């Protein structure tokens, strides 16, 4: 079956939960029956080439079947009624004061909730859409409006036809809008939001235009659609979604003002660049099947950081690629419950759980490692060749490796096959033996025994006067020790390094030569080696202490962040508390008060350090909290620390909730919602729950509040007792997404400390399909963290 086009017509009635629709699917068949995907949709009639057809509906499978032996060109005409959903998926409703906004979110398999279709990425088709709405309502879709006509006292808006694209990239929004526009040549780039919710400057529009220009040059292919909408959605499950020509965003990732924090500004630039990379890598060229989802997301992750680094070198954004994306990916991929980058997916419904640190962070860093091995220009040439060859088509990861191999002449396919089809990653043990260094690789795990896997590791050996590229593709090898400085220069590799004492001493003697990413790599590896039981707690603390005088914000944040994660496991450990509090106070003093023209990383790190500090230094929190009455005008980079300090010292959920109600900007409201979890006790927790139920806390932010409450040591018994209810709430709001799985993965190991068996019984009883991956990871993390906690007490 091949589909050429969908002609879609939707009739929207204000405040109705139902949508009347008609469609004509132009297809070509080869002696087969017809199966279409449709969920929660009433099929009224089906005609094929004008002839009425009998059909069957399997509600459980979400399939409409028309039996027969259909050959050649077929026009399939369907009348149907679909539903506006309650969850944040499919087409759903957002209420804003006295009006409503209907918006779609389809990835991976939500299009079938709006109209019958073949909802699979390899079935690309053109879309021609029209909508009938009230005269005072407007509509947005992937393409510009072709024309508007009057229909029975209402209006019909018709859009131009799209290029061939996958169903998950289709977008439709219905409502009243405000907007800001800019130009990419003659093409309109428009930031649009439901009426009354647009408060942004044109910063995000300028950011988008700058990224589009960078990509047009980098890929050698112009942006292909005649316009681009950047759509701010007030209640949204995802961070953003790359619908071709109509990208949707959470408010805080697409709206900026003079009061927007430095961290949020750089996040806006990164998220916008990520979604725009998809306009080529994902939209123009699309994966054949969801097992190659990683190729879309990894490449967009990698390209976003590359783009922002070029446009805003002052951000040091590559440090974020390492400290957030790589850190999380290395941790998650140390579990036996991890999955390969190229993971087998049978049904689209399974996809939601692989929108994770492997598909984004590991994949993005593997591409960084590959680019470093091939060279930037050869890598770019291969990407250009791939995009030109497969434009408007579907492709697989193997197609990309073939193009890169042809350009570079290097064994890209063999290297990448190993990295994307195997779970986990290697650890290299480096031992000094006279004039040689013996290297040995084995799989790194936090729990359990390593298997016999061997990876082809593109190894960068740093010497005093050179950096040598070596392909380490066997169990052991030797390299000369002369002028040795360090393995994995710049932390470009996706592996761990464990030096023997003689070598780590040698590495640390070259400390003045080491860049910040090299130091980060040593710290991160030491944390993992401690967590896996390969290093003792005191040895680990000694390495932290040896680097604690470093002035770089990345190192300060890394030391503090790693110790804070351990503090979450054992908040009553006096040695750990004293050490962490001391570092936070020391780093806070080093970072000082905000100053004009200071580095972006200093501004962001100060906010992070102070948010941790108020949790361990009550006197400091008390002093800071006196500023809460001026929250609206307080330094936006420090609002989270102020909100958390007020929550802890005042311990009044009602105070935080009243400020949430009065705060309209998403960025500032986020900090308050997070802080709400740090109010303690049954009464405050009940208020938190009520604020979620009555949507004072927007549905999209419910997980933030629940996670914060789980992190609060004073609330853990309460949250554990309410865990089933919390999971049910999250599942209802985020059905079909990764949110419940991630919530369990993050919170269950923390809440399970000291009640491990109870938590395991709780997890074994979880029956939500969306949560299966999170449950597996949480059970494994629970065992790992229990062992880590015990090792810190011995």
- Taking residue 603's Cβ as centre, other Cβ atoms within 10 Å add up to 22
Tracing tokens 């909802």 back to the chain, one arrives at: 119
Give CA separation, 754 vs 403, 580, 682, in Å.
53, 22, 20
Rounded to whole angstroms, the maximal C-alpha distance in the chain is 90
Q: Is 275 a catalytic residue?
A: yes
State whether residue 114 is helix, strand or coil. Answer: coil
Q: How far apart are CA 668 and CA 638, in angstroms?
A: 10
Closest CA to 504 of 475, 473, 526: 526
Sign (positive or negative) of CA dihedral 647, 653, 658, 662: positive
Q: How far apart are CA 283 and CA 224, in angstroms?
A: 10
Q: How far apart are CA 723 and CA 762, in angstroms?
A: 8
Closest CA to 569 of 601, 537, 606, 614: 537
Query: What secondary structure letter does DSSP report for 739?
Result: H
Based on the number of CB atoms within 10 Å of its own CB, is 789 exposed (0-12), middle (13-18) or buried (19 or more)? middle
DSSP letters, 122-152, are: T--BEEEEEEEE-TT-EEEESS-EEEEEEET
Tracing tokens 């229909």 back to the chain, one arrives at: 151
What residues pair up with 485 in beta bridges, in sequence order? Answer: none
Catalytic residue (choose from 107, 242, 270, 275): 275
Say if residues 56 and 78 touch (Cβ distance below 8 Å): no
For 393-401, the CB contacts below 8 A with 24+ separation are: 393/124, 393/285, 393/286, 394/121, 394/122, 394/124, 394/285, 394/286, 394/287, 394/288, 395/285, 395/286, 395/287, 395/288, 396/287, 396/288, 396/289, 396/292, 396/295, 397/292, 397/294, 397/295, 397/342, 400/295
Closest CA to 271 of 244, 250, 291, 288: 250
Token pair for residue 332? 């998650």
Question: Pairing relation of β-strands 457-463 and 227-233?
Answer: unpaired
Angle, helices 739-751 vs 723-734, to 10°: value is 160
Closest CA to 422 of 364, 484, 366, 352: 366
Beta carbons within 8 Å of 570's beta carbon, 6+ residues apart = 576, 753, 789, 792, 793
Give first-to-last CA distance, the chain, whole Å: 65
Active-site residues: which are they? 275
């Amino acid at each position: 079956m091949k589909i050429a086009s969908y002609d879609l017509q939707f009739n929207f009635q204000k405040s109705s939960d139902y949508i009347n629709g008609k469609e004509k699917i132009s297809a070509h068949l080869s002696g087969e029956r017809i199966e279409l995907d449709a969920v929660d949709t009433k099929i009224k009639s089906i005609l094929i080439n004008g002839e009425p057809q009998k059909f069957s509906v399997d509600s459980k499978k979400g399939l409409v079947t028309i039996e027969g032996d259909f050959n050649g060109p077929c026009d399939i005409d369907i009348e149907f009624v679909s539903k506006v959903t309650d969850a944040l998926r499919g087409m759903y409703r957002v209420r804003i004061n006295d009006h409503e906004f209907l918006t779609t979110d389809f990835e991976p398999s939500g299009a079938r909730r709006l109209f019958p279709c073949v909802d699979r990425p390899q079935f690309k088709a053109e879309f021609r859409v029209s909508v009938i709405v009230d005269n005072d309502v407007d509509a947005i879709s992937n393409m510009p409006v072709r024309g508007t006509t009057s229909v029975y006292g209402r209006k019909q808006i018709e859009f131009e036809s799209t290029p061939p694209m996958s169903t998950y990239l289709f977008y439709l929004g219905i409502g009243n809008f405000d907007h800001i526009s800019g130009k990419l040549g003659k093409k309109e780039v428009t930031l649009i939001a439901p009426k009354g919710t647009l408060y942004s400057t044109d910063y995000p529009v300028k950011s988008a235009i700058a990224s589009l220009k960078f990509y047009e040059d980098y890929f050698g292919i112009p942006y292909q659609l005649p316009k681009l909408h950047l759509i701010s959605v007030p209640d949204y499950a995802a961070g953003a979604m790359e619908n071709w020509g109509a990208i949707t965003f959470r408010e805080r990732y697409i709206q900026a003002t003079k009061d927007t924090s430095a961290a949020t500004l750089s996040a806006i630039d990164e998220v916008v660049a990520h979604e725009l990379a998809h306009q080529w890598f994902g939209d123009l060229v699309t994966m054949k099947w969801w097992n190659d989802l990683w190729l879309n997301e990894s490449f967009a992750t990698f390209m976003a950081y590359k783009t922002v680094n070029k446009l805003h070198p002052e951000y040091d954004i590559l440090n974020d690629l390492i400290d957030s994306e790589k850190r999380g990916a290395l941790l998650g991929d140390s579990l036996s419950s991890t999955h390969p980058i190229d993971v087998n997916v049978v049904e689209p419904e399974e996809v939601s759980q692989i929108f994770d640190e492997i598909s984004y962070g590991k994949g993005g860093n593997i591409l960084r490692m590959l680019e470093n091995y091939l060279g930037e220009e050869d890598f770019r040439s291969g990407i250009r060749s791939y995009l030109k060859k497969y434009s408007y088509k579907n492709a697989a990861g193997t197609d990309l490796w073939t193009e890169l191999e042809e350009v570079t002449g290097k064994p890209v396919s063999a290297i990448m096959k190993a990295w994307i089809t195997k779970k986990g990653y290697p650890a290299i043990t480096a031992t000094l033996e006279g004039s040689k260094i013996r290297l040995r690789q084995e799989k790194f795990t936090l729990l359990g025994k390593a298997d016999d896997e061997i990876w082809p590791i593109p190894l960068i050996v740093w010497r005093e006067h050179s950096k040598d590229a070596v392909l380490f593709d066997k169990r052991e090898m030797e390299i000369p020790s002369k002028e040795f400085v360090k393995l994995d220069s710049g932390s470009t590799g996706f592996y761990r390094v464990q030096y023997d004492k003689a070598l780590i001493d040698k590495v640390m003697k070259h400390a003045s030569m080491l860049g910040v990413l090299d130091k980060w790599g040593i710290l991160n590896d030491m944390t993992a080696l401690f967590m896996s039981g390969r290093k003792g707690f005191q040895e680990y603390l000694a390495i932290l202490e040896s680097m604690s005088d470093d002035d770089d914000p990345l190192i300060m944040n890394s030391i503090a962040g790693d110790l804070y994660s351990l503090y979450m496991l054992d908040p009553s450990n006096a040695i750990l508390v004293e050490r962490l509090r001391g570092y936070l106070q020391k780093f806070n003093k080093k970072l000082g008060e905000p100053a004009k023209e200071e580095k972006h990383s200093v501004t962001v790190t100060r906010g992070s350090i102070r948010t941790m500090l108020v949790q361990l230094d009550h006197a400091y929190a008390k002093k800071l909290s006196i500023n809460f009455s001026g929250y609206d005008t307080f330094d936006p980079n420090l609002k989270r620390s102020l909100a958390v300090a007020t929550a802890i010292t005042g311990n009044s959920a009602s105070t935080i909730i009243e400020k949430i109600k009065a705060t309209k900007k998403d960025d500032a409201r986020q900090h308050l919602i997070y802080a709400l979890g740090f109010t303690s006790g049954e009464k405050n927790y009940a208020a938190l729950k009520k604020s979620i139920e009555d949507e004072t806390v927007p549905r999209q932010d419910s997980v933030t509040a629940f996670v914060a409450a789980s992190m609060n040591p004073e609330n853990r018994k309460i949250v554990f007792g309410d865990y089933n209810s919390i999971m049910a709430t999250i599942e209802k709001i985020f059905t079909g997404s990764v949110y419940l799985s991630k919530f369990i993965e993050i919170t269950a190991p923390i809440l399970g400390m000291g009640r491990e068996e109870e938590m395991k019984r709780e997890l074994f009883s979880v029956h939500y399909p969306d949560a299966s991956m999170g449950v597996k990871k949480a059970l494994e993390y629970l065992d790992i963290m229990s062992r880590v906690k015990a090792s810190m007490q011995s």
